[in-house]
Structure 1
Amino acid sequence: MTIVNTKPITSKIRSTIKHITSQAGWTARFRGMLFGLLYVMAVGASTSLLNAIMPRIMLPFSIILNSILVAIVTAPMHMIWTHATIAMPGKKFMARYAAIKGSYKQLWLPAMVYEAVQLLVFFQAGCSGQLVQHDLARVSNTDMANSARWFAGLRIAGVIGALVTVALFVVLPAKVQLVRVEASMLPDEDDTIIPFDRTFDGKVVPKVLGGSGAIGFMDAWRSFNREARLRLIKLYVKIFLVSTAIFFLAVHVMAFELWALAGEATKNFVVMAHAQLQQASQNH
């Protein structure tokens, strides 16, 4: 007897890209991009319309309400985007839209929760940014005692830790629930680029058998096992590291180009900007 320990296709970025390109061609790297642009346009149009007709009373509350309403209204568009990303190519937009009619009942709750937790993190990040800015100004103060600097540094670390914790244990589960609910509603005639259990451990009851044809909101997270969660977290860490490396590379390339084209002017600008930052810090 031979036991083969097979790793999931999505365990590595390279193996994932290699598989999807072998199944759907080199353009599979950009799967769903057009549908994603359509979704962004639908969100923008819906937001503008609601902002025009919604009374401007209690501005923060109206912004939150508008964002949640837009997420619910455009939930089918988001599901079309998900289906176009995970399914084999072949269907056009109208064919996918016709296949998801009557899906609001299963989509409105995960779409609302995901948008709500994103807004929560957005406002938390805004408040935390003000605290961090205040602590950084205090730390840069040469007259501050060392104990006060340590306390300010701990506060900065605590703010960053709180944001990471919320992202991992609030935002990530909400996104997983939304995407898995959408994936469970993929029509039976559509083949997926990467195979997965279409029954979600038997949680999905087809409509022909009297079920909803979609996985439940809570079952979407419960059926997402620990190995899959760790794999997803590792993927986000890899994406963050790759994005950071590309950002720093782009910044250095742009800085080198500025120095090569206008060396002395760039140097004077940097010195002036540094002096203005120091003056603003002292005034604060």
Structure 2
Amino acid sequence: MSGVHGQMLGHLVRRGVSAAQVHFSEAGPEPTDGGKTIIVDFNPRKYLPVMIVGIITALLIASVRYTLGEVIASLAMIESPSATAIIESKPQKYADEPDAPLEKESMLPAEATADQDIEITVVNHKPVTARISTAIRHLHSVGGFFGRWRGAGVGAVYHMLHAIMTNFLAGFIGFGIAGHALMHIFSSLALARVHMAWTHSMIAAPSSKSWLRRMVPRKQCKAILLPTLAFAVSQQVTVIMPIAVAFAFGLPQHMQNGSFDFVNTELSRADAAYWMFALLSIPLTAIFVALAILLPASVTLTRIEAALLPEDQETIVPFDRSLVLGDLDLQTRGACRSVFLQAWKSFEPAARLRLIKLYAQMFCLQIFIGLGGVVLMAFFM
């Protein structure tokens, strides 16, 4: 879901910067005295609390984004249902005396001991990722307080390499947004092994080896090319589709100084309904594409990457690799496509709803933190 989320954050940042520019431009020209400019005393200490609150708010939002949107979400994508079977033997029945003491067990006839009942009770365990608090406690038990940021270093390396490669190649070949989308897909394929190492660092048990030494050999990475391609394409579709809808309704032509010109004009009911529908269609399109395309692609990629985890390493949540790989040999023709389809089919509907709920909670928590930061910054202004 990083495509939609990053686009929304970028949009909010751009709107905030443009609003600040409009505010300072409307503040009027610098005060003058007889043609001489008066220098206004600017005290940085006055705005220091605002800057501190802004930095803390940004760090909290980023922390929530990574812990819930990356670590716990990856665990929710791979967690398999687990259960414990409790086997209990019922009291034995005696052929001669129903209430005979246990000391007479040796006197039982052979047919009586053969027909003794065994009661099996199956206890289904609640998934670790069913609740955020439970998942965070589990991460703390595995990796301590910093367990909630598992794999953050590898993720930073991946995103840095991806951004450098994408921007450099996109600037080299040009073609605007289309060229950037193509280079984004190319960079994702080129860094597929690094992305898989990042996933493994989030879901695997702690190891003394560095993430470079734990990388899966290149010969075994054939199975992740197709899901990586699908995920990269779905990311671009999730970003481009809302933009295409906005252009289809002609919204960019009505954008002036960071706002729409029809907001402060008298509109008929039909025009008001049209523009209301146009504005709502953009986020609705983004949500629909994210749930219908991006979410399945992300789940498929993560589950296949988890299935390729080396045999000497275990995941920190229950994960049945046979649900994804089965008895397939990844070196045979057509096996990668079968694994690609099976990875999503094996993801149960209950787990899908749990993952969507997790993303919704993450988004609401980020909005709450952002609004709290804005209120505090306004208080210190």
Please give the TM-score of this superposition, normalised by the length of structure 1. 0.79
Is 1:88–1:190's contact at 8 Å kept on the other side of the alignment? yes
Structure exhibiting the larger radius of gyration computed from Cα positions: 2
Residues 1:27 and 2:150 aligned together: no
Q: Cα deviations across residues 213-246 of structure 1 (Å, max 9, x unaligned)?
A: 9971111111111011001000000001101101
Q: Cα deviations across residues 105-135 of structure 1 (Å, max 9, x unaligned)?
A: 1122111111111111212233345545649
Is 1:82–1:183's contact at 8 Å kept on the other side of the alignment? yes
The answer for the alignment partner of 1:143 in structure 2 is: 266
Superposed, 1:1-284 pairs within 5 Å as: 4-51=123-170, 54-56=172-174, 58-90=175-207, 91-97=209-215, 99-129=216-246, 131=249, 134=254, 137=260, 140-200=263-323, 203=326, 205=328, 216-258=339-381
1:201, CA displacement in angstroms?
Answer: 6.0
Provide the C-alpha distance between the structure 1 equivalents of 2:246 and 2:375, rounded to a whole number of angstroms: 26
The answer for the alignment partner of 1:271 in structure 2 is: none
The answer for the alignment partner of 1:270 in structure 2 is: none
Q: Cα deviations across residues 43-85 of structure 1 (Å, max 9, x unaligned)?
A: 1332255346x433x3333222211110100010000000000
Provide the C-alpha distance between the structure 2 equivalents of 1:147 and 1:213, rounded to a whole number of angstroms: 52
Structure ranking higher on relative contact order (CA contacts 8 Å, 6+ apart)? 2
Q: Cα deviations across residues 70-105 of structure 1 (Å, max 9, x unaligned)?
A: 0100010000000000011113122112x3332441
Provide the C-alpha distance between the structure 1 equivalents of 2:332 and 2:275, rounded to a whole number of angstroms: 60
Q: Cα deviations across residues 6-27 of structure 1 (Å, max 9, x unaligned)?
A: 3211100101111121122222
Provide the C-alpha distance between the structure 2 equivalents of 1:34 and 1:28, rounded to a whole number of angstroms: 12
Unaligned runs of 5+ in 1: 259-284
Say which is worse superposed, 66-75 or 195-204, in terms of deviation.
Answer: 195-204
1:196, CA displacement in angstroms?
Answer: 1.4
1:165, CA displacement in angstroms?
Answer: 0.9
- Letter of the structure 2 residue corresponding to residue 35 of structure 1: V
Distance 1:113 1:73, change over 3 A: same
Please state which structure has a larger fraction of its residues in strand: 2
SS in 2 for 1:68: helix
Q: Cα deviations across residues 229-282 of structure 1 (Å, max 9, x unaligned)?
A: 001000000001101101111111111111xxxxxxxxxxxxxxxxxxxxxxxx
Is 1:79–1:182's contact at 8 Å kept on the other side of the alignment? yes
Is 1:184–1:213's contact at 8 Å kept on the other side of the alignment? no
1:191, CA displacement in angstroms?
Answer: 1.8
Is 1:138–1:144's contact at 8 Å kept on the other side of the alignment? no
Distance 1:221 1:143, change over 3 A: same
User: How many residues get paired?
Assistant: 255
Distance 1:119 1:193, change over 3 A: same
Cα root mean square deviation, aligned: 2.8
Provide the C-alpha distance between the structure 1 equivalents of 2:162 and 2:224, rounded to a whole number of angstroms: 16
SS in 1 for 2:297: helix
Distance 1:78 1:252, change over 3 A: same
1:140, CA displacement in angstroms?
Answer: 2.0
Distance 1:212 1:96, change over 3 A: farther
- Letter of the structure 1 residue corresponding to residue 194 of structure 2: M
Provide the C-alpha distance between the structure 1 equivalents of 2:130 and 2:149, rounded to a whole number of angstroms: 19
- Letter of the structure 2 residue corresponding to residue 96 of structure 1: R
The answer for the alignment partner of 1:279 in structure 2 is: none
Please give the TM-score of this superposition, normalised by the length of structure 2. 0.60
Is 1:181–1:214's contact at 8 Å kept on the other side of the alignment? no
Identity rate of aligned residues, in percent? Answer: 31
Distance 1:112 1:202, change over 3 A: closer
- Letter of the structure 1 residue corresponding to residue 242 of structure 2: A
